[in-house]
């Protein structure tokens, strides 16, 4: 094919679909989930962040529906889970919580 200046190639239409964004690295997910578990574990936000809606709702409802009386117990669970997240290697965290979908501890 020759480059004909009088017959340029057809212009490509801009794509309406944005290019796929790379997901967050495992180390970043692990750090954020661990800190959420340690700081506000009683609300189960770390569970929601990792995609565990059922477990997050359970933690949130236990804390709220008990009028805060059970919140310290749920907060200890969140604290333990946060520490577990942060002490695991990136590969182990990914294998256990992101791929294996282990919901509790």
Instruction: Count CB-CB contacts under 10 A for residue 42.
Output: 23
| Residues 44 and 59 sit within 8 Å (Cβ to Cβ) | yes
| Residues 56 and 44 sit within 8 Å (Cβ to Cβ) | yes
What is the distance in angstroms between the CA of the first residue and the CA of the last residue of the chain?
A: 63
Judge if pTM exceeds 0.85.
no
Q: What is the pLDDT of residue 9?
A: 63
Q: What is the pLDDT of residue 105?
A: 80
- CA 75 distance to own-chain centroid: 19
Q: Domain-by-domain residue ranges, the chain?
A: 26-99
Average pLDDT, 10 consecutive residues per value, the chain (105 residues): 63 60 83 97 97 97 96 97 97 95 90
């Amino acid at each position: 094919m020759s480059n004909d200046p009088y017959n340029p190639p057809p212009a490509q239409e801009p794509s309406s679909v944005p290019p796929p964004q790379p997901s967050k690295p495992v180390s970043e997910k692990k750090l954020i989930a661990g800190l959420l578990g340690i700081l506000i574990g009683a609300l189960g936000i770390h569970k929601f962040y990792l995609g565990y809606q059922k477990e997050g709702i359970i933690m949130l409802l236990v804390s709220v529906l008990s009028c805060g009386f059970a919140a310290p117990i749920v907060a200890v669970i969140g604290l333990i889970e946060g520490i577990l997240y942060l002490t695991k290697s990136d590969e182990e965290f990914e294998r256990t919580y992101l791929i294996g979908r282990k919901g509790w501890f």
